[in-house]
Structure formats: C-alpha cells, structure tokens
Amino acid sequence: MTKKSTRPLILITNDDGISAPGIKNLIEAAAPYGDLVIVGPDSPQSGMGHAITISKPLRIDKVKIYPEHTAYQCSGTPVDCVKIAVDKIMHRKPDILLSGINHGSNSSINVIYSGTMSAAVEGAIEGIPSVGFSLLDYSYEADFTFSREVVQWTIQRILKHGMSKGTLLNINIPKLPIEKVKGYKICRQANAKWKEAFDERVDPNGRKYFWLKGEFDNFDKGKDTDEWALKNGYVSVVPVQFDLTAHQEIKKLQKWTS
C-alpha cells in the first residue's frame, strides 16, 4: 500500500472467516482487476447481521496467508472489518468492496441475517460500490469455478457502468455445473421467511437448551424474485438499499397524527 498505483483499490471481506475457501476464491478472482486489501474476521461470523462491536475492544493483526496481498484479520464482526479497514487500514476510500464468497444462500430474507451482506451494506453506507456474493453450497469442498467467473463478470460491469449511490448488490449463485447455468437475472428480494422450529435438548447437567432450527418458507410466487431465478438455473442479482423507509406508508400514517 506504499507504492502509488492507478489500479482500482478493492477491499475484500467475508463472514465465514479469513481462512474460508470462499474468500480465497474471491481474492484469486478479483486479483487481476486491482490492488487488493483483505480484512476478514478471525473466526466465523455467520448470522451476525449488521452487528457492530461497541462494548469491547477490537484487534487487527496482519496475516500472511495471502502473501501477494495486504491482509488483516480482525476480532470483530464483518461490519467491524469494513469500518476498521476504511478508518485505520486503507489510505484512501476503496473503489470497490467485495464480500464473500459466502458458503450458503443469502437470497430473499437471508439478506437481513447475513454477515456477508451486512459488510456490503456497510460498504454502500461508506459510499463504496459494494457487492456480496454467495454460492448455494455450504460445503467447504464446494466448487467455486463458476463463482469466480461471476465475480469477474461483476467487477467488469462495475468498472464499466458504476453503481448508483445508496445501493449495493446481492448476488447468489446456484449450485450447478457451469453448462447448466442459464445466465444472470436482475431480481427483487422474494417475500419469504424462516419458520422457526427450535430444537429442544437437555445438557449433561439436566438443564434445557435450544438450538435455532427452521424451515425456509417462500410464499412469493413471483417470477421476478431471486428465489425463482435460483430455482430456475440463473444467477440472481438483487439491487439492495439501506434506506429502510417504507415510503408508501408515510401518507397512510398521516391519519395517526390528525
């Protein structure tokens, strides 16, 4: 980071931890397009959503696992990684932020629980064109060959078209052999939810405990959703925003104050 470079500066993070195969594949796919700075969590942070670390200190340590790049592990959440990268590690605002490649889907309502996506949301809040990538395969042995193509397809388009302020992308990749993938679909977030069914168990001391378990319930029949795209062999590309205002409700709620 001391040499001056005119190449794009790309910040890379994830939520599965800095040593996960997903981020390794993201790094290798992105490397030809810019100078990379990697700041990933030092342990898995799945399901952390937009959590930040307020009540305890954060650590960052330089690591050598990606020797061709500047890489740090951070003791915090994915959002902490982005915040500390921008404030303390990088000498200028990155041109692109890439988060992932997540092991498992972040389509539909999962965008809200996902550490991968929250890191990308935080990047967008910072004004950085940001993307979260997820492959629909939880296995650490997953084949990322096509996912790497998706990463490069995306970077090429960001460099060519830019991205609108206040928005980011949620890109999910179906678990399919390359020849079966039908292409890319720009979609909306499907209206779906997890139906909880906590697993109830008893510990060796006789005390009850619960483990989060659930079933994904997609009640959205739209063919313009990410769920439809993924089920039908497409890569889903959902533009996401961090303005959570339900603008259409503002007029309706006026009657509350009259």
Is 233 an interacting residue with respect to its own copies (CB under 8 A)?
no
Is 212 an interacting residue with respect to its own copies (CB under 8 A)?
yes
Query: Given the complex with its own copies, which of 1 and 197 has the nearer CB atom?
Result: 197
In whole angstroms, the minimum distance from the beta carbon of 194 to its own copies comes to: 8
Characterize the bridge pairing of strands 192-196 and 214-218: antiparallel
In whole angstroms, the minimum distance from the beta carbon of 87 to its own copies comes to: 4
Query: Given the complex with its own copies, which of 6 and 245 has the nearer CB atom?
Result: 245
- Among 187, 227, 228, 229, which residue interacts with its own copies (rule: CB under 8 A)? 187
What φ, ψ does residue 239 adopt, rounded to 5°?
A: -75, 135
- Among 188, 216, 218, 231, which residue interacts with its own copies (rule: CB under 8 A)? 188
Query: Given the complex with its own copies, which of 54 and 178 has the nearer CB atom?
Result: 54
DSSP string, 135-171: ES---TT---HHHHHHHHHHHHHHHHH---TTEEEEE
- Among 24, 49, 95, 175, which residue interacts with its own copies (rule: CB under 8 A)? 49
Q: Tell which phi-psi region holds residue 229, choosing left (phi > 0), alpha (psi between -120 and 50) or beta.
A: alpha
- Among 180, 196, 221, 232, which residue interacts with its own copies (rule: CB under 8 A)? 196
72 and 63 in contact (C-beta within 8 Å)? yes
Cα dihedral 194, 141, 116, 129 in deg (nearest 10): -130
Rule CB under 8 A: which of 141-180 touch its own copies?
157, 161, 164, 166-167
Rule CB under 8 A: which of 6-35 touch its own copies?
none
Rule CB under 8 A: which of 88-147 touch its own copies?
88, 109, 111-113, 118, 121, 125-126
In whole angstroms, the minimum distance from the beta carbon of 119 to its own copies comes to: 12
Total residues at the site for its own copies (CB under 8 A)?
A: 77
Tokens of 62: 């330089």
What φ, ψ does residue 94 adopt, rounded to 5°?
A: -65, 155
CB under 8 Å to 205, separation ≥6 — which residues? none
